[in-house]
Structure 1
Protein backbone atom coordinates (compact mmCIF):
# COMPACT_ATOMS: atom_id res chain seq x y z
CA UNK A 1 0.00 0.00 0.00
CA UNK A 2 1.30 3.43 -0.94
CA UNK A 3 0.53 6.74 0.74
CA UNK A 4 0.64 9.91 -1.32
CA UNK A 5 -0.21 13.53 -0.65
CA UNK A 6 -3.06 14.25 -3.02
CA UNK A 7 -2.96 17.17 -5.44
CA UNK A 8 -4.96 18.37 -8.42
CA UNK A 9 -3.57 15.36 -10.29
CA UNK A 10 -5.67 13.13 -8.01
CA UNK A 11 -8.74 15.38 -7.98
CA UNK A 12 -11.24 12.90 -9.39
CA UNK A 13 -10.23 9.89 -7.31
CA UNK A 14 -10.07 12.03 -4.16
CA UNK A 15 -13.48 13.54 -4.88
CA UNK A 16 -15.01 10.09 -5.46
CA UNK A 17 -13.79 8.91 -2.05
CA UNK A 18 -14.92 12.18 -0.46
CA UNK A 19 -18.40 11.78 -1.96
CA UNK A 20 -18.60 8.19 -0.64
CA UNK A 21 -17.46 9.47 2.78
CA UNK A 22 -20.26 12.05 2.84
CA UNK A 23 -22.80 9.40 1.84
CA UNK A 24 -21.54 7.24 4.73
CA UNK A 25 -22.61 10.13 6.99
CA UNK A 26 -26.08 10.34 5.46
CA UNK A 27 -25.55 13.01 2.82
CA UNK A 28 -26.98 12.65 -0.68
CA UNK A 29 -24.54 11.69 -3.42
CA UNK A 30 -23.23 14.81 -5.16
CA UNK A 31 -20.01 14.09 -6.99
CA UNK A 32 -20.05 17.50 -8.69
CA UNK A 33 -20.17 19.37 -5.37
CA UNK A 34 -17.60 17.00 -3.83
CA UNK A 35 -15.26 17.62 -6.76
CA UNK A 36 -15.69 21.38 -6.45
CA UNK A 37 -15.06 21.28 -2.69
CA UNK A 38 -11.91 19.17 -2.99
CA UNK A 39 -10.66 21.26 -5.92
CA UNK A 40 -10.95 24.37 -3.75
CA UNK A 41 -8.95 22.71 -0.98
CA UNK A 42 -6.17 21.99 -3.47
CA UNK A 43 -6.26 25.45 -5.06
CA UNK A 44 -6.34 27.30 -1.73
CA UNK A 45 -3.90 24.93 -0.04
CA UNK A 46 -5.97 25.06 3.13
CA UNK A 47 -5.93 21.34 3.88
CA UNK A 48 -3.62 18.37 3.51
CA UNK A 49 -5.14 15.26 1.92
CA UNK A 50 -3.44 11.88 1.80
CA UNK A 51 -4.57 8.91 -0.27
CA UNK A 52 -3.96 5.24 0.40
CA UNK A 53 -3.45 3.36 -2.86
CA UNK A 54 -3.47 -0.40 -3.29
CA UNK A 55 -0.97 -2.39 -5.35
CA UNK A 56 -2.99 -1.65 -8.50
CA UNK A 57 -2.76 2.10 -7.88
CA UNK A 58 -6.44 2.43 -6.92
CA UNK A 59 -7.25 5.00 -4.23
CA UNK A 60 -8.91 3.03 -1.42
CA UNK A 61 -8.93 5.53 1.44
CA UNK A 62 -8.17 9.12 2.35
CA UNK A 63 -7.58 11.40 5.27
CA UNK A 64 -7.99 15.19 5.31
CA UNK A 65 -6.27 17.47 7.79
CA UNK A 66 -6.83 21.14 8.46
CA UNK A 67 -4.13 23.29 10.06
CA UNK A 68 -4.67 25.03 13.36
CA UNK A 69 -2.44 26.37 16.11
CA UNK A 70 -2.03 26.12 19.85
CA UNK A 71 -1.58 29.63 21.20
CA UNK A 72 -0.40 28.30 24.55
CA UNK A 73 2.24 26.01 23.01
CA UNK A 74 2.87 28.43 20.12
CA UNK A 75 2.93 25.49 17.73
CA UNK A 76 0.93 24.11 14.83
CA UNK A 77 -1.71 21.47 15.41
CA UNK A 78 -3.50 19.42 12.77
CA UNK A 79 -7.23 18.76 12.88
CA UNK A 80 -7.90 15.30 11.48
CA UNK A 81 -11.32 16.11 10.08
CA UNK A 82 -12.01 13.29 7.62
CA UNK A 83 -10.92 9.66 7.49
CA UNK A 84 -12.51 7.16 5.13
CA UNK A 85 -11.74 3.73 3.71
CA UNK A 86 -13.85 2.26 0.91
CA UNK A 87 -16.19 -0.48 2.15
CA UNK A 88 -14.43 -3.28 0.29
CA UNK A 89 -11.08 -2.35 1.86
CA UNK A 90 -12.05 -2.06 5.53
CA UNK A 91 -10.49 -4.29 8.20
CA UNK A 92 -7.27 -4.49 6.16
CA UNK A 93 -5.16 -1.95 8.04
CA UNK A 94 -5.81 0.94 5.65
CA UNK A 95 -7.08 3.35 8.32
CA UNK A 96 -4.16 2.45 10.58
CA UNK A 97 -1.70 3.05 7.74
CA UNK A 98 -3.30 6.43 6.99
CA UNK A 99 -3.12 7.43 10.66
CA UNK A 100 0.53 6.38 10.88
CA UNK A 101 1.27 8.47 7.79
CA UNK A 102 -0.52 11.46 9.33
CA UNK A 103 1.65 11.13 12.41
CA UNK A 104 4.83 11.22 10.31
CA UNK A 105 3.50 14.25 8.42
CA UNK A 106 2.65 16.04 11.68
CA UNK A 107 6.08 15.30 13.12
CA UNK A 108 7.76 16.61 9.96
CA UNK A 109 5.79 19.87 10.26
CA UNK A 110 6.87 20.24 13.92
CA UNK A 111 3.25 20.04 15.04
CA UNK A 112 2.38 19.89 18.71
CA UNK A 113 -0.61 17.55 18.26
CA UNK A 114 -3.13 15.90 16.01
CA UNK A 115 -6.71 16.44 17.14
CA UNK A 116 -9.80 14.57 16.05
CA UNK A 117 -13.37 13.90 17.07
CA UNK A 118 -15.50 10.86 16.50
CA UNK A 119 -19.01 9.78 17.36
CA UNK A 120 -19.43 8.43 20.88
CA UNK A 121 -20.97 5.32 19.32
CA UNK A 122 -18.04 4.68 16.93
CA UNK A 123 -16.37 1.98 19.02
CA UNK A 124 -14.16 0.52 16.25
CA UNK A 125 -12.66 3.94 15.45
CA UNK A 126 -12.17 4.77 19.13
CA UNK A 127 -10.39 1.45 19.68
CA UNK A 128 -8.07 2.13 16.73
CA UNK A 129 -7.28 5.66 17.90
CA UNK A 130 -6.50 4.48 21.42
CA UNK A 131 -4.31 1.65 20.09
CA UNK A 132 -2.28 4.30 18.24
CA UNK A 133 -1.86 6.46 21.35
CA UNK A 134 -4.67 8.97 20.94
CA UNK A 135 -6.25 9.97 24.24
CA UNK A 136 -9.79 11.02 25.02
CA UNK A 137 -9.55 14.61 26.20
CA UNK A 138 -12.22 14.34 28.85
CA UNK A 139 -10.83 17.41 30.64
CA UNK A 140 -12.42 19.58 27.96
CA UNK A 141 -15.95 19.97 26.73
CA UNK A 142 -16.24 21.06 23.14
CA UNK A 143 -19.04 23.32 21.97
CA UNK A 144 -20.37 24.19 18.55
CA UNK A 145 -22.84 26.71 17.18
CA UNK A 146 -24.26 26.40 13.70
CA UNK A 147 -24.15 29.60 11.68
Structure 2
Protein backbone atom coordinates (compact mmCIF):
# COMPACT_ATOMS: atom_id res chain seq x y z
CA UNK A 1 0.00 0.00 0.00
CA UNK A 2 1.41 3.38 -1.04
CA UNK A 3 1.33 6.22 1.46
CA UNK A 4 2.98 9.53 2.28
CA UNK A 5 4.23 10.27 5.76
CA UNK A 6 6.29 13.04 7.39
CA UNK A 7 9.53 12.67 9.33
CA UNK A 8 11.80 15.14 11.04
CA UNK A 9 15.03 15.22 9.10
CA UNK A 10 18.48 14.94 10.61
CA UNK A 11 22.01 14.97 9.26
CA UNK A 12 21.50 11.40 8.09
CA UNK A 13 18.85 12.71 5.66
CA UNK A 14 21.04 15.38 4.11
CA UNK A 15 21.42 13.63 0.75
CA UNK A 16 17.63 13.30 0.50
CA UNK A 17 17.07 16.98 1.29
CA UNK A 18 19.69 18.51 -1.02
CA UNK A 19 17.98 17.76 -4.37
CA UNK A 20 14.64 19.00 -3.03
CA UNK A 21 16.22 22.17 -1.66
CA UNK A 22 18.00 22.75 -4.97
CA UNK A 23 14.72 22.34 -6.89
CA UNK A 24 13.07 24.75 -4.44
CA UNK A 25 15.74 27.37 -5.08
CA UNK A 26 15.40 26.91 -8.85
CA UNK A 27 11.64 27.48 -8.46
CA UNK A 28 12.56 30.84 -6.90
CA UNK A 29 14.76 31.68 -9.92
CA UNK A 30 18.12 30.83 -8.39
CA UNK A 31 20.90 28.91 -10.13
CA UNK A 32 21.30 25.25 -9.26
CA UNK A 33 24.11 24.79 -6.74
CA UNK A 34 23.90 21.49 -4.92
CA UNK A 35 27.31 21.82 -3.26
CA UNK A 36 26.37 25.14 -1.64
CA UNK A 37 22.89 23.82 -0.83
CA UNK A 38 24.44 20.84 0.93
CA UNK A 39 26.82 23.06 2.93
CA UNK A 40 24.02 25.46 3.87
CA UNK A 41 21.68 22.70 5.03
CA UNK A 42 24.40 20.83 6.88
CA UNK A 43 25.26 24.03 8.73
CA UNK A 44 21.63 24.64 9.72
CA UNK A 45 21.20 21.08 10.98
CA UNK A 46 24.55 20.85 12.79
CA UNK A 47 23.98 24.17 14.56
CA UNK A 48 20.33 23.30 15.22
CA UNK A 49 19.33 26.59 13.56
CA UNK A 50 16.41 25.10 11.68
CA UNK A 51 14.00 22.21 11.77
CA UNK A 52 13.30 20.31 8.56
CA UNK A 53 10.47 17.89 7.93
CA UNK A 54 10.38 15.59 4.91
CA UNK A 55 7.33 14.21 3.13
CA UNK A 56 8.24 10.65 2.24
CA UNK A 57 6.43 8.54 -0.33
CA UNK A 58 6.35 4.83 0.44
CA UNK A 59 6.25 2.92 -2.83
CA UNK A 60 4.54 -0.19 -1.48
CA UNK A 61 7.53 -2.42 -2.18
CA UNK A 62 9.58 -1.54 0.87
CA UNK A 63 11.21 1.53 -0.68
CA UNK A 64 10.58 5.18 -0.14
CA UNK A 65 11.77 8.54 -1.38
CA UNK A 66 11.41 12.13 -0.23
CA UNK A 67 8.91 14.15 -2.28
CA UNK A 68 8.87 17.41 -0.32
CA UNK A 69 10.14 19.34 2.65
CA UNK A 70 9.46 22.27 4.90
CA UNK A 71 12.06 24.19 6.85
CA UNK A 72 11.30 26.17 9.99
CA UNK A 73 13.45 28.84 11.60
CA UNK A 74 12.99 30.00 15.19
CA UNK A 75 12.05 33.60 15.91
CA UNK A 76 10.43 35.67 18.64
CA UNK A 77 7.68 38.25 19.05
CA UNK A 78 8.75 41.12 21.27
CA UNK A 79 5.19 42.42 21.49
CA UNK A 80 3.74 39.17 22.85
CA UNK A 81 7.07 38.01 24.34
CA UNK A 82 6.66 34.56 22.81
CA UNK A 83 8.62 32.32 20.53
CA UNK A 84 7.32 31.56 17.04
CA UNK A 85 8.45 29.62 14.00
CA UNK A 86 9.03 31.05 10.55
CA UNK A 87 7.87 28.55 7.97
CA UNK A 88 10.52 29.69 5.53
CA UNK A 89 10.46 26.92 2.93
CA UNK A 90 7.80 24.58 1.62
CA UNK A 91 8.40 22.53 -1.49
CA UNK A 92 6.80 19.47 -3.06
CA UNK A 93 8.14 17.88 -6.24
CA UNK A 94 6.03 18.45 -9.32
CA UNK A 95 5.12 14.74 -9.56
CA UNK A 96 3.88 14.68 -5.94
CA UNK A 97 1.75 17.80 -6.09
CA UNK A 98 -1.92 17.23 -5.31
CA UNK A 99 -0.94 14.10 -3.38
CA UNK A 100 -1.52 15.72 0.00
CA UNK A 101 2.21 16.06 0.70
CA UNK A 102 2.04 19.86 1.05
CA UNK A 103 -0.91 19.71 3.44
CA UNK A 104 0.84 16.96 5.42
CA UNK A 105 3.97 19.09 5.79
CA UNK A 106 1.89 22.10 6.84
CA UNK A 107 0.03 20.04 9.44
CA UNK A 108 3.30 18.55 10.71
CA UNK A 109 4.74 22.06 11.11
CA UNK A 110 1.59 23.15 12.95
CA UNK A 111 1.80 20.23 15.39
CA UNK A 112 5.50 20.86 15.96
CA UNK A 113 4.81 24.54 16.72
CA UNK A 114 2.12 23.55 19.22
CA UNK A 115 4.34 20.89 20.84
CA UNK A 116 7.16 23.40 21.29
CA UNK A 117 4.84 25.85 23.05
CA UNK A 118 5.16 28.66 20.54
CA UNK A 119 2.84 31.48 19.56
CA UNK A 120 2.44 29.96 16.11
CA UNK A 121 3.80 30.01 12.59
CA UNK A 122 4.40 32.81 10.14
CA UNK A 123 5.25 32.66 6.44
CA UNK A 124 5.53 34.73 3.30
CA UNK A 125 5.09 33.85 -0.35
CA UNK A 126 5.16 35.52 -3.72
CA UNK A 127 2.07 37.56 -4.46
CA UNK A 128 1.44 35.50 -7.60
CA UNK A 129 1.96 32.05 -6.02
CA UNK A 130 -1.77 31.36 -5.97
CA UNK A 131 -1.39 27.59 -5.55
CA UNK A 132 0.55 28.06 -2.32
CA UNK A 133 -1.84 30.78 -1.13
CA UNK A 134 -4.81 28.45 -1.54
CA UNK A 135 -3.02 25.76 0.48
CA UNK A 136 -2.13 28.21 3.25
CA UNK A 137 -5.64 29.59 3.48
CA UNK A 138 -7.11 26.08 3.46
CA UNK A 139 -4.80 25.30 6.41
CA UNK A 140 -6.20 28.27 8.35
CA UNK A 141 -3.50 30.86 7.68
CA UNK A 142 -4.80 34.42 7.45
CA UNK A 143 -3.39 36.86 4.91
CA UNK A 144 -1.99 39.91 6.67
CA UNK A 145 -3.53 43.17 5.52
CA UNK A 146 -2.49 45.09 8.63
CA UNK A 147 1.30 45.22 8.20
CA UNK A 148 3.67 45.86 5.29
CA UNK A 149 6.87 43.90 4.88
CA UNK A 150 10.12 45.74 4.20
CA UNK A 151 13.51 44.27 3.37
CA UNK A 152 17.04 45.61 3.32
CA UNK A 153 19.36 43.32 1.40
CA UNK A 154 23.08 43.70 0.76
Interval of TM-score (by shorter of Structure 1 and Structure 2): over 0.9
Q: 1:27-80: CA deviations, max 9, x gaps? A: 111111111110001111100000010113201000001000111211111001
Which secondary structure does the structure 1 equivalent of 2:90 belong to?
strand
**1:114 partnered with 2:121:** yes
TM-score w.r.t. the length of structure 1 is 0.97
Counterpart of 2:28 (choices 21, 25, 29) is: 25
Structure 1 distance, partners of 2:92, 2:40, is 19
The Cα shift of 1:26 comes to: 1.3
Counterpart of 2:140 (choices 133, 137, 143) is: 133
For structure 1, the residue ranges without an aligned partner over 5 or more in a row are: none
Which secondary structure does the structure 2 equivalent of 1:10 belong to?
helix
The aligned runs of 1:6-17 (5 Å cut-off) are: 6-17=9-20
The Cα shift of 1:135 comes to: 0.3
TM-score w.r.t. the length of structure 2 is 0.93
Counterpart of 2:5 (choices 2, 6, 9) is: 2
Structure 1 distance, partners of 2:151, 2:105, is 27
For structure 2, the residue ranges without an aligned partner over 5 or more in a row are: none
CA contact (8 A) 2:5 2:104 kept: no
Which secondary structure does the structure 2 equivalent of 1:96 belong to?
helix
| RMSD, aligned α-carbons | 0.8
The Cα shift of 1:15 comes to: 1.1
Structure 2 distance, partners of 1:37, 1:31, is 10
> How many residues were matched structurally?
147
The aligned runs of 1:100-111 (5 Å cut-off) are: 100-111=107-118
Identify which range, 69-78 or 105-114, moves more after superposition: 69-78
